Structure 1
Amino acid sequence: MTALRGIVMIAAGVLAFLFPEQAVKFVLLAGGVLLLVDGVLGLASSDFSSRRDATFWLALVRNVVCIVAGLIVLGNGILTNVFTLGFLAGLVGLLAIIAGLVEIVSGLMDRERYSSATPAMVSGGLYVVFGLALLFMPLSSAATLIRVVTILIIVYALSLLYRAWRIRTVG
């Protein structure tokens, strides 16, 4: 299985390296789906019969922000006729930052639901980093970033193949 992971990663890495623009579009589409699913599942798992305190409202705002950001990304083809791609990327970046900050604050405030604030802080921090990248990384350099990342993926995949070979020779 380790060798199969390596082979799949190498194939995906080579394709992303050869076609970086399509890889960026795919990553954005996958990100939009993740935002939308995250928000919808967050709303579905909300307890609307519980008390309406600050953490309830923060979670509600976070989930709605994720849904809006996901819809913006997925509706990109329609919305680019009205707004520029840079504006939409900035808007989604801002919404991701808001969602991340709300996640961090709600993790710190709601000690009943979170035994440790660390997971909420990590996931919220990742949302913030994603949002900052969308705000400050020019979309034109995204293709270059994809190429750099795919080189790293291929190197990692080669290490998986080496590890699979070592496991097979030792066993």
Structure 2
Amino acid sequence: MAVRQRAVSALPTLLRSLRKDPLKPHNHAHALPSLRRAFSLYDQINLIDNVPVDQLRIQGYTDTGFNVNGVEYEGSLLCVGNLLLSWKPKKFSDITADSLSLFQTVRPIPDILILGCGRNIQPVDPELRRFVRSIGIKLEAVDSRNAASTYNILNEEGRVVAAALLPYGVSS
């Protein structure tokens, strides 16, 4: 019983030592929650803090860009599987079939394209929806913060997923 009590009293110290913050956000940055957790009796322990070298993980966002695998990127991003590209659109109205034409050549074709609209969800033009559907991809439009989190979850599950992300500060 004494051993158990010592173990229980040592647990908070152990938890503090195991927790590493891969992203120390600046005053203006927002970190996304860690998705790599061991769900067990001690589900607060983050056992896998490191991202595999070949896997993208969006760790945070600002009004002007994103933090991916510990590197700050300014502007819009296109994430296809584990490929990261700078993306031209600066506002939601710039997103067209032409700006997403890369998906006509990418293989394997992603199951879903998560469109990060900036700060607020925007209605997607029916022509753009038809274009994405004609390639064989499902389209989900959400705010960029939730788009980044959803991309992380699906990518960690091993799904073939893509994200087109406008910076969070974009409001229309």
With normalisation by structure 2, the TM-score equals: 0.25
- Structure with more strand by fraction: 2
- Structure with more helix by fraction: 1
